[in-house]
Amino acid sequence: MMTVEEKWHFDLFGYVVLKQAVPVEDVQRMVSLAYTWHDLPDSKLPPPLRSYRDPVEYPNLPRSIVNSHYGDEIFQRLALNREIMRCVLDLTANCPKLLAVSLTRNTKDSEAVGFHGGFAGGWRNPANDYQVAEGMVFATFLNAAVSLVDVPEGTGFVCVPGSHKGNFPIPSHIDIYSCPPSVVNVTPKAGDVVLFTETLCHGARRWTQDTPRLTVFVRYSTSYASWSPEVGPIEAHQGKLSPGVHELMQVAGFQHRKQIVDQLLSEMGENST
Ligand SMILES: O=C(O)CCC(=O)C(=O)O
């Protein structure tokens, strides 16, 4: 499960970097699928894959292809990645739910992503919780940003470290291009994962390279949280999911222990009681 140092980092800053969590061959396969799918219009994507925002209507936004795990087994393997799951299980007290797997492309033409989460916008989402007690860190909404490319400094993910515990609005003169210590630019290598609580105020600087930034955002919540009307597996396509991923996507009460959780804990050599 998480080491004490990882918990210290996550609690202090709101994120942790899991170095080389994804095997090189898996990264290569996802890059290849990213190029194939991102070359296609939404109408040609294998259903239920679709853009989060219609790229025709929003040509300047980073394009995020949602439901990628229905399109290829490699994204299901990613959703169950042991390095990610040992942290997600710890942070959700062994009650996780897989919410979404989005394959996102940022190009030099994509707009930057302004700060959101935490107190950005002057309010905090009441369903997005973060607590620490008795050596345990607990977060109800997590985002595992899996980088498929090397990210150079000055571009990509930025956050206001510690803002997941902030109690005051972030001053308006602080933005995604501000400097440390207020704003930190996290620059993963291909195969690294930036795991953060969505209560952290975060965004993304404009991409600066000729080849695109490719990231898979794997979002998890606690199994009993409800985030959108589209909760749980999509019925018409659930046959495309492995039993473990299908179960991981299910809503369940906080007393319920999912079989996939027991299986992961046992594979990790953890006592699953
Ligand atoms: O591109 C990024 O790293 C930021 C993504 C983001 O803001 C989000 O997934 O909520």
Choose between 179 and 122: higher pLDDT.
179
**pLDDT reading at 121 higher than 80:** no
Question: What is the per-residue pLDDT across 44-97, written as a single tens digit (0 to 9) for each?
Answer: 999 999 999 988 888 899 999 999 999 999 999 999 999 999 999 999 999 999
16-40 pLDDT, tens per residue?
Answer: 999 999 999 999 999 999 999 999 9
> What integer pLDDT is reported at residue 223 of this predicted model?
92
User: How many angstroms does the Cα of residue 171 sit away from the middle of ligand 1?
Assistant: 20
pLDDT tens-digit map of 147-205: 999 999 999 999 999 999 988 888 999 999 999 999 999 999 999 999 999 999 999 99
Contacts of 8 (CB under 8 A, 6+ apart): none
Q: Which pLDDT value is given to residue 167?
A: 84
Mean of the pLDDT values across residues 96-111? 96
Q: Which atom of ligand 1 is nearest to the CA of 145?
A: 3
Distances (CA, A) of 225 to 56, 219, 231: 32, 12, 9
Give domain status of residue 81, yes or no. Answer: yes
Do residues 131 and 143 lie in contact, with contact meaning Cβ atoms separated by under 8 Å? no
pTM, to two decimals: 0.96
Nearest CA to ligand 1 atom 5: 203
Give the rounded distance of the alpha carbon of 263 from its chain centre.
22
Closest ligand 1 atom, residue 202 Cα: 7
Q: Which residues of 36-48 are buried (b: 16+ CB within 10 A; e: fewer)?
A: ebbeeeeeebeee
Residue nearest to atom 3 of ligand 1 (CA): 157
Listed residue (241, 252, 254) closest to 80, CA to CA: 241
- Is residue 202 domain-resident? yes
| Radius of gyration of the CA atoms of the chain, in A | 18
Q: For CA atoms 11, 13, 16, 19, give the dihedral sign.
A: negative
The parent domain of residue 41 ranges over 4-267
Inside any domain, residue 187: yes
What integer is the mean pLDDT of 110-118? 92
Residue 45 is predicted with a pLDDT of: 97
Instruction: Specify the pLDDT at position 115.
Output: 94
**Predicted local distance difference test score (pLDDT) of residue 124:** 65
| Cross-strand partners of 213 | 106
For residue 160, the domain's CATH number is 2.60.120.620
**Amino acid making up residue 56:** V
Q: What is the pLDDT of residue 227?
A: 65
Distance CA 191, CA 206 (A): 21
Assign 3-state DSSP to the chain and report helix, strand, coil percentages, each to 5. Answer: 30, 25, 50
Whether the pLDDT of residue 136 is over 60: the answer is yes
Number of domains in the chain: 1
In a domain, 273, yes or no: no
- Ligand 1 neighbours by CB, cut-off 6 Å: 113, 143, 145, 156-157, 202-204, 217
Predicted local distance difference test score (pLDDT) of residue 230: 61
Q: Is 272 inside any structural domain?
A: no
Mark out the alpha helices in 138-258 (DSSP H runs). Answer: 243-248
If DSSP codes are grouped into helix, strand and coil, which group holds residue 65?
strand
pLDDT of residue 117: 84
d(CA 8, CA 268): 21
Give domain status of residue 86, yes or no: yes
